[in-house]
Amino acid sequence: MKAKAKKNKPVRTKARAVVAAQPRRRGRPPGRPARDDMTPDSRERILDAAEAQFSAHGFWGVTIREVAEQARVDTALLHYYFDTKRGLFDAVFARRAEIMNKERIDSIDAYERSAGSAITVEGVINSFLEPMHLRAAQGDPGWHNYFALVAQVNNTPVWGGETMGKTFDRVIHRLLDALRKALPEADEKDLYWSYHFLSGALTLTLSQTGRIDRLSNGLCKSGDFTAIHARMVPFIASGFERLCRPRSGGRSRK
């Protein structure tokens, strides 16, 4: 039984450079004072291009040539700065992680201080999610791409779990600490699983596949982060409370 007629459209057609790139001058370009604190913009352009490509097609779906082309730079320069393709990926992943981790921890700290003993699950969840949603709602395509990238890595078997762990576990443990204060009787297992569900919901939201737009026939927009945040906080908080407050029923059998 042979395969059907060949109408399998490819996953992605690599539409190659239509406009032949103008020949560029060799050697170091003039007027770039490479200070320690001010990295040359080629490097940043490479990171931006890689971020966009990796987030859209994953590690294996991208070639360094495509990244180089989008950054308007020779492929050798990518190797000069980042050594290997993997090195480039790691650099992209780490770049914004620092910033986001700091913002999240600061946000949880601030909430804990302001709430005192009146700490609530919803408040904690809100303080954890807010920095991300603020960045996303601001519309910067860089952050946009970055979140989509994280979402993909989070769902990548084999090496995704390890990468996520190394980068984000510190913040997650901070979140769980805060939640334990709001849910003093919570069982540890329930707490971890609840976080897992939160992580999944967040991840899919940030991955921006346009699935919900299509499913809801345009009623919900995957880019409407205000609408998302307003719904995600109570949805998730309610799940935590149900699962982690033993008095009110808890999980079903077993």
Partner DNA sequence: TCAAATATTCATTGTCTGATGAAATATTTT
Partner DNA sequence: AAAATATTTCATCAGACAATGAATATTTGA
DSSP character string of 221-241: -TT-HHHHHHHHHHHHHHHHH
Residues 190-219 close enough to bind its own copies by CB under 8 A: 190, 192-205, 207-212, 214-216, 219
Task: Rule CB under 7 A: choose which of 30, 116, 157, 218 binds DNA.
Answer: 30
Q: Is 114 in the site for its own copies (CB under 8 A)?
A: no
Output b/e per residue, 237-246; b: 16+ Cβ within 10 A. bebbbebbbe
CA atoms within 13 A on the CB side of 244: 26
- Give the integer Cα–Cα distance in Å for 115 and 227: 25
Of 19-27, 97-105, 106-114, 239-247, which segment contacts its own copies by CB under 8 A? 239-247
Kindly state the number of chain residues that form the binding site for its own copies, as judged by CB under 8 A: 98
Binding partner selected for residue 127 from its own copies, DNA, none, CB under the kind-specific 5 to 8 Å limit:
none
Binding partner selected for residue 227 from its own copies, DNA, none, CB under the kind-specific 5 to 8 Å limit:
its own copies
What's the 3-state SS for 30-76? CCCCCCCCCCCHHHHHHHHHHHHHHHHHCCCCCCHHHHHHHCCCCHH
- Of 23 and 157, nearer to its own copies (C-beta) is 157
Task: Rule CB under 7 A: choose which of 27, 116, 157, 249 binds DNA.
Answer: 27
Residues 190-249 close enough to bind DNA by CB under 7 A: none
Task: Assign residue 74 a region (left: φ > 0; alpha: ψ between -120 and 50; beta: otherwise).
Answer: beta
Q: Is 39 in the site for its own copies (CB under 8 A)?
A: yes
Q: Is 73 in the site for DNA (CB under 7 A)?
A: yes
In the bound complex, what is the minimum distance in angstroms from residue 192's beta carbon to DNA? 36
Q: CB-based contacts of 25: which residues, under 8 Å, 6+ apart?
A: none
Q: Is 42 in the site for DNA (CB under 7 A)?
A: yes
Lookup: tokens for 99: 């910033």
First to last CA, the chain: 48
- Of 117 and 248, nearer to its own copies (C-beta) is 248
Footprint on this chain of DNA (rule: CB under 7 A):
1-2, 6, 10, 14, 16, 23-35, 39-40, 42-43, 62-66, 72-77, 79-80, 83-86
